[in-house]
Amino acid sequence: MKSQSFVLSSQITALLEAQGITVATPVQEQIIPAIANGQDVLAQSETGSGKTLSFAIPIIEQLQRRDGLKALVLVPTRELASQVAGEFVKYSAGKHLGIVPVYGGVSINTQAAKLRQANIIVATPGRLIDLLNRNAVRLDSIRYFVCDEADRMLDMGFIKDVERIASRLPREHQTLLFSATVPKEIEKLAGKYLRNPKNVRLAATVKPIFLRQTYYHVSPEKKLDLLAHLLGQDRNLAIVFCNRKHITVKISKRLTAAGIHARALNGNMSQSQREKVTEDFRSERFTVLVATDVAARGLHIDDVSHVYNYEIPKDVESYTHRVGRTARAGQKGEAISLVATEEEKKFFQQILFKYRGEITLKESGEISALIPPPAAASQESKARRPGASPRKDKWRKRSGHGAAFRHPA
């Protein structure tokens, strides 16, 4: 990784280059030297900006196996805990650091045993508090405290837990706070726990030139038909977002029955199930993930070309995080919202106001042209199988054409 503001060890440089990472991102240019110099950090930076490596690299560089427990990374979700821990493992190869992900849904006793050999803990707040209450871990040796996706912590009601954990830390440590947005509550948190921090405020990484945003006004009974047709177009991986857990299951089943291989991801699934679905999606064993917002944060998959809002999120921040799953790292992507009910229209007005001029309406006449009548759709489905179309320049063909559906109750 090349940079004018810092120099990395040959060992970690080789590991980065093996992953094709040769140039530091803007957030890394500012944050890595700040952490190395002992500064606290407040960084407003969206997913995809390279923020995980911006704190992982300097922590790895300054730790040795014999040092004991020195770093704590708090994250809002199990998926993010697993992924961030995986990045620490990948870029500390050869140093044999003890890196322990800590989250619910798996054996707490197993985690407690592993913590005895930990140098770095990557944890969700709830499970870490459980371990602290059992005296399974002490935090009085922590040198680096990272609070990742702090605004999501706020949304999920974890801020009090974060403060309980922060109260267990030693007086002398570095606090590194990362957030895609910095509302007043996060500013207050930063003011309470950070000392003369390095402030890094970067523009959104998803720019209109890379991300095409459109929406349809569609009747509820035509909504699934439209989704199925759009998913039948040229694309790579796609994520379909829903607000409700049971809708993810219904939609994934209906799409799969129509020849579009889809699977659900939601909070009702066990941790092992969620990890298996996420890995299968990343490995392209299926190409359409139907998810609640549990996947909006912390799901870092580079090959997602399309995001669909099957149900409109109830706040602008959730929309921003959903569409941030595509158009990553300079790649083009599309975000398509299906607006059906009066309630959804009300929510989407807030989104349109925030993204003034960036989201384009698709006219109703275009919908009629897109959706064939049931008989025609049935005939076309028989003639056009998944994967039948040749690869196009922009997207790869991943799925078959959708048939007509009844809208799920």
Domains in the chain: ranges and CATH: 10-201 (3.40.50.300), 211-383 (3.40.50.300)
Q: What is the pLDDT of residue 295?
A: 61
The string of DSSP codes covering 326-341 is: SS-TT--EEEEEEE-S
Enter the tokens of residue 80. Answer: 């993010």
How many CB atoms sit inside 10 A of residue 241's CB? 27
For residue 84, the number of C-alpha atoms closer than 13 Å in the C-beta half-sphere is 35
- Spell out the long-range contacts of 275-281 with Cβ–Cβ below 8 A and sequence spacing 24 or more: 275/79, 275/82, 278/79, 281/237
Which pTM value belongs to this model? 0.61
Enter the tokens of residue 173. Answer: 């440590």
Tell me the C-alpha distance between 171 and 80, whole Å: 27
Helices of type H across 48-117: 51-62, 78-91, 108-115
Residue pLDDT tens, the chain, 409 long: 666 667 889 999 999 888 778 778 788 889 999 999 999 999 987 655 678 999 999 999 999 999 999 999 999 988 889 989 999 999 999 899 999 999 998 999 999 999 999 999 999 999 999 999 999 999 999 999 999 989 888 878 899 999 999 999 999 999 999 987 788 889 999 999 999 999 998 755 456 678 999 999 999 999 999 999 999 988 999 999 999 999 999 999 999 999 999 999 988 888 788 889 988 998 999 999 999 986 656 677 878 999 999 999 988 878 887 888 888 766 889 999 999 999 999 999 989 988 888 999 987 556 655 555 544 444 444 444 343 333 333 454 444 444 444 444 3
Q: Under a CB-based contact definition with an 8 Å cutoff, are residues 242 and 307 in contact?
A: no
State the amino acid at position 369 in one-letter form.
A
Question: 162-181: buried (b, 16+ CB within 10 Å) or exposed (e) per residue?
Answer: beebbeebeeebbbbbbbbb
Q: Under a CB-based contact definition with an 8 Å cutoff, are residues 255 and 286 in contact?
A: no
State the amino acid at position 232 in one-letter form.
G
- What does the DSSP 8-state code read for residue 157? T
Q: What is the pLDDT of residue 398?
A: 45
Q: What is the pLDDT of residue 151?
A: 85
Q: Which helix (H) or strand (E) segment is 74 a member of? A: strand 71-74
Enter the tokens of residue 258. Answer: 């129509």
CA separation, residue 116 to residues 63, 94, 102, 104, 133 (Å) = 17, 20, 13, 18, 16
Q: Under a CB-based contact definition with an 8 Å cutoff, are residues 123 and 71 in contact?
A: no
Q: Which helix (H) or strand (E) segment is 59 a member of? A: helix 51-62
Cα torsion 27, 29, 34, 36 to 10°: value is 120
